[in-house]
Amino acid sequence: MSARVLVVDDILPNVKLLEAKLSSEYFDVLTATNGPDALEIAERDAPDIVLLDVMMPGMDGFEVCERLKNNAKTAHIPVVMVTALTDATDRVRGLESGADDFLSKPLNDTALMARVRSLVRLKMTVDEWRIRETTANQFGIMDTGSNAMMESAAEAKVLIVEDKTFESDKFIETLDRDNDMVMPVLSGEQAIILSQEHEFDLITVSLNMEQEDGLRLVSHLRSNERTRSVPILMVGMEEDMKRIAQGLEIGAHDYILRPVDRNELLARVRTQVRRKRYQERLRSNYEHSLNMALTDSLTGLFNRRYLNVHFGRILANIAESRKPIGVLMLDIDNFKIVNDTYGHNVGDEILKQFADRIVQRLRSFDLVARQGGEEFVAILPDINPKVAMQVSERLRKSIGEEPFKVSTDEGLLTCTVSIGGAIIDDPNIAVEEALKKADDCLYEAKEGGRNQSIFAGYGRVKPEMYMNDEQLEELAEAEGVIPPPPMDKPSDVSAPKSPAEESSADQSVRPQAQDSSSQQSSPLGSTQQDQDRSADAAPDPQDPHHFSMPE
């Protein structure tokens, strides 16, 4: 780990000593001998951690720390205060000024290195979210400039693992000052059970239990999916320093030494709770803003912006998979008349149900996006012309043969759809060009009387070519592609929304909320499609159908 450490101390030999220790552990070391220099270097060189002396002439360590934490550019950098003072009041003051830890001189090497490594690791996680926040900012949605110090630390849910009740009672009493909801347990086993049932903001683990090793519990909590990101505060004694260092290595966030000073406990708990809440906020802001930016709020489908980027990736993948891609451009017939006759509310009802039906009739890894208005695009990877045409006919039937439920006097309204299709097998084709091929056919389908599918190079898909589920499955098997869900039984992974879900304001901005689209996992994360590809999309050289087009 070649993390960058900024060492700040007014006594040069102290600086040199720490520099030597850290360099021998392969850290990059920056140094400063006064507060103003430290602030300048921190802002310019973005260290991963600052080791800060408290007693300095002029600007002391507390002030430097406060300034670092109040500057958006440096607020996320962990600060460890280092001092000869051992008074608990100073430790608390350091923590309240935003320091992540407080170490006493002379420095215990093991404690120092474990602390530095653990804080650097934590920072990496936060950094990742900060990078994503920056990306999301480019979409112009996220609020910026927040930092962990602005989070509330009150009313946290804390789990205390401690076999001596007089110790846990002291914790409960102390944390009551912040209105924390504290649950004490006597063993690791009980802790594991409770942590599966509750969302804790912090777990404290005693390293001095009679019957068990608290480190074992720390390790378990770290590796468990549900508790992995819950901060852990170890409680130990001076002579446990080696084990505390080990605990920090395996992922505990902090520790406190017995006899526990109440103010220090409170300060350390607050620091951890704030940091957890900050990280959670970064994550949810990020997801929210991406969803806003990349999905269509009415239908929950991805929007044109996402389609363009993601379709580009799928196209680039043709070179590797050597399997053609189907592009369908779908446009609801005479939609303007619907809007003009019944109003936009009814139009919107139809758009939503239309989107749901399309998603239900496609495979989990097909991509559906709303281009705009009443125009939709479906991208069908790993398909061939015969199956793609069948898919297109199925979509057309599923729209035209079943009326939509709408809030008009009749309650039902039938709409049809025109579809233009293209099979793309050229990895060098541009996104716009690929879409245009399908769009040209859509235009033809409209001109030719609507309610039909036309494919580039093949012309109109004749309804009499339509196959039943069984025939289509046979065809798909012969062609080595995955068939769409059967007509009589749409895939229930994409069951339509319940009215309750639909009315939830929250849902409309989440891509996967769309219920209708289990296939559309996180926009920038790996999609089901990516997974399917890596799993079984390897081209079969024996299969003569790979690039063959039907006659």
- Catalytic residue numbers, as ranges: 374
Burial (0-12, 13-18, 19+ Cβ within 10 Å), 159: buried
Q: Which is nearer to Mg ion, 74 or 83 (CB)?
A: 83
Q: Which is nearer to Mg ion, 85 or 172 (CB)?
A: 85
Q: Which is nearer to Mg ion, 61 or 483 (CB)?
A: 61
- Within residues 382-441, the interface with Mg ion by CB under 5 A covers none
CB of 51 to Mg ion, least distance (A): 12
Please tell me the distance from the alpha carbon of residue 312 to that of residue 437, in angstroms, as a whole number: 15
Q: Taking the CA of residue 387 as centre, how many other CA atoms within 13 Å lie in the half-sphere pointing to its CB?
A: 30
Q: Which is nearer to Mg ion, 9 or 167 (CB)?
A: 9
CB of 82 to Mg ion, least distance (A): 9
Determine the interface stretch with Mg ion among 3-11, 43-51, 289-297, 359-367 (rule: CB under 5 A). 3-11
Determine the interface stretch with Mg ion among 6-14, 40-48, 152-160, 190-198 (rule: CB under 5 A). 6-14
- Helices 214-223 and 188-197 pack at an angle, to 10 degrees, of 20
Q: By CB under 5 A, tell whether 530 contacts Mg ion.
A: no
Burial (0-12, 13-18, 19+ Cβ within 10 Å), 1: exposed
- Helical (H) or strand (E) element with 102: strand 101-104
DSSP 226-246: TTTTS-EEEEE-GGGHHHHHH
Q: Find the farthest-apart pair of alpha carbons in the chain and give their distance in angstroms, rounded.
A: 90
Residue 354: how many CB atoms within 10 A of its CB? 23
Size of the site for Mg ion (CB under 5 A): 3
Q: By CB under 5 A, tell whether 10 contacts Mg ion.
A: yes
CB 159 within 8 A of CB 202: yes
Determine the interface stretch with Mg ion among 4-12, 25-33, 167-175, 200-208 (rule: CB under 5 A). 4-12
CB of 22 to Mg ion, least distance (A): 18
Q: Which residue is nearest to Mg ion (CB)?
A: 55
DSSP 459-491: EE--GGG---HHHHHHHHHHHT-PPPPPTTS--
Q: By CB under 5 A, tell whether 90 contacts Mg ion.
A: no
Percentages helix, strand, coil for the chain, rounded to the nearest 5? 50, 15, 35
- Within residues 36-65, the interface with Mg ion by CB under 5 A covers 53, 55
CB of 101 to Mg ion, least distance (A): 17
CB of 78 to Mg ion, least distance (A): 20
CB of 66 to Mg ion, least distance (A): 17
Q: Which is nearer to Mg ion, 10 or 348 (CB)?
A: 10
Q: Which is nearer to Mg ion, 91 or 497 (CB)?
A: 91
- Within residues 290-329, the interface with Mg ion by CB under 5 A covers none
Helices and strands (H, E) in the chain, number of each type: 19, 18
Q: Which is nearer to Mg ion, 55 or 309 (CB)?
A: 55
Residue 532 in 3-state DSSP? helix
Please tell me the distance from the alpha carbon of residue 28 to that of residue 22, in angstroms, as a whole number: 8
Q: How far is CA 354 from CA 375, 385, 416, in A?
A: 11, 24, 10
Q: Which is nearer to Mg ion, 55 or 85 (CB)?
A: 55
CA angle 131, 137, 138 (to 5 degrees): 100
CB of 81 to Mg ion, least distance (A): 11
Q: Taking the CA of residue 214 as centre, how many other CA atoms within 13 Å lie in the half-sphere pointing to its CB?
A: 28
Contacts of 211 (CB under 8 A, 6+ apart): 163, 187
- Helices 12-24 and 109-138 pack at an angle, to 10 degrees, of 80
CB of 62 to Mg ion, least distance (A): 12
List residues binding Mg ion (CB under 5 A).
Answer: 10, 53, 55
